């Protein structure tokens, strides 16, 4: 079993839709949770960062962490074609340099 | 600001050849990392460095070597290329190593796509 599981997609939605991207994990010691966005042929860039459980909102993006279920989500409201990318979740125990990445979900937002 | 610069962007190697992937950052970050990304797999850490002269193995170090003689540069060497090393390689850097209060935000380069035939 992988430490972090993420549906590879692709997920295709019409412009303006609400998108839900998810990851599950098995290591209960993970405390820091991140979402990276990766455009085609580019390196990942940090989108959202949360610590422990709860929600965090930044513009059209909301990150949720449910540690009891070992489940994290990224919601994108009013999705735009420019949101078309691969979204990678990443997590860490915090005391370590080591980030564990999910395999990424490819999102396509149709105009 | 250039950020993290990787060269070359693309390379085709024959089995058994050697090469070095170059990585340079201009943000004065102490920590630098090499990851590989394979289709359907997450990023896997190959090697990392906490500062000039200090390197350590990540999850998948076999077949690779690194050095860190300056803060800015962190080259990755493949000594005897194998088809299993066909991948996209990403170099990244961060201000600190521990993931606390966002201190370990990774800045990635654009990647080096390597094919071994």
**A6 Cα distance to chain centroid:** 9
List pLDDT tens digits, range A43-96.
999 998 888 888 999 999 999 999 999 999 999 999 999 999 999 999 988 666
**What per-residue confidence (pLDDT) applies to B61?**
96
**What per-residue confidence (pLDDT) applies to A54?**
83
- Give the max Cα distance, chain A: 43
CB contact under 8 A, B111 and A97: no
List pLDDT tens digits, range B8-47.
999 999 999 999 999 999 999 989 999 999 987 889 999 9
- Tokens 């937002």 map to which residue? A109
pLDDT reading at B1 higher than 70: no
Tell me the residue length of chain A.
111
The whole-angstrom distance between B85's CA and the closest CA on chain A is 18
Task: Yes or no: say if A43 and B25 are a contact pair by the CB < 8 Å rule.
Answer: no
Residues 35-74 of B with CB under 8 A from A: 40-45, 48, 50, 58
Q: CA A110 to CA B110: how far, in whole Å? A: 25
**What per-residue confidence (pLDDT) applies to B103?**
59
| Chain A, chain B: beta-carbon pairs less than 8 Å apart | 64
The whole-angstrom distance between B73's CA and the closest CA on chain A is 18
Q: Which residues of A touch B42 (CB under 8 A)?
A: 2, 4, 6, 88, 100-104
A9: nearest CA partner in chain B:
B40
Q: Binning pLDDT at 50, 70 and 90, where does residue B85 land?
A: very high
Q: Which residues of A touch B45 (CB under 8 A)?
A: 98-99
| Mean pLDDT of chain A, nearest integer | 92
Q: What phi-psi label fits residue A103: left (phi over 0), alpha (psi between -120 and 50 degrees) or beta?
A: alpha
Q: Binning pLDDT at 50, 70 and 90, where does residue B102 land?
A: low
Q: Is the peptide bond before A10 cis (omega within 30 degrees of 0)?
A: yes
- Give the max Cα distance, chain B: 44
Q: Binning pLDDT at 50, 70 and 90, where does residue B2 land?
A: confident
- Tokens 């979900």 map to which residue? A105
């Amino acid at each position: 079993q992988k430490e972090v599981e993420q549906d590879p997609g692709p997920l295709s939605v019409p412009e303006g839709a609400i998108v839900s991207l998810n990851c599950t994990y098995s290591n209960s010691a993970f405390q820091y949770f991140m979402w990276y966005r990766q455009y085609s042929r580019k390196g990942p860039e940090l989108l959202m960062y949360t610590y422990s459980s709860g929600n965090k909102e930044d513009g059209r993006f909301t990150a949720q962490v449910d540690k009891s279920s070992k489940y994290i989500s990224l919601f994108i409201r009013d999705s735009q074609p420019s949101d078309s990318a691969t979204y990678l979740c990443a997590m860490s125990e915090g005391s370590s340099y080591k980030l564990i990445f999910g395999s990424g979900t490819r999102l396509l937002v149709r105009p | 600001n250039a950020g993290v610069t990787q060269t070359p962007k693309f390379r085709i190697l024959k089995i058994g050849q050697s090469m070095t992937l170059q990585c340079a950052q201009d943000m004065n970050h102490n920590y630098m990392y090499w990851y590989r990304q394979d289709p359907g797999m997450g990023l896997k850490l190959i090697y990392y460095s906490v500062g000039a002269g200090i390197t350590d193995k990540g999850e998948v170090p076999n077949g690779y070597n690194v050095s860190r003689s300056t803060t800015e540069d962190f080259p990755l060497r493949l000594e005897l290329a194998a088809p299993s090393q066909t991948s996209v390689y990403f170099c990244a850097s961060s201000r600190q190593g521990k993931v606390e209060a966002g201190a370990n935000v990774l800045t990635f380069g654009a990647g080096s796509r390597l094919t071994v035939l």
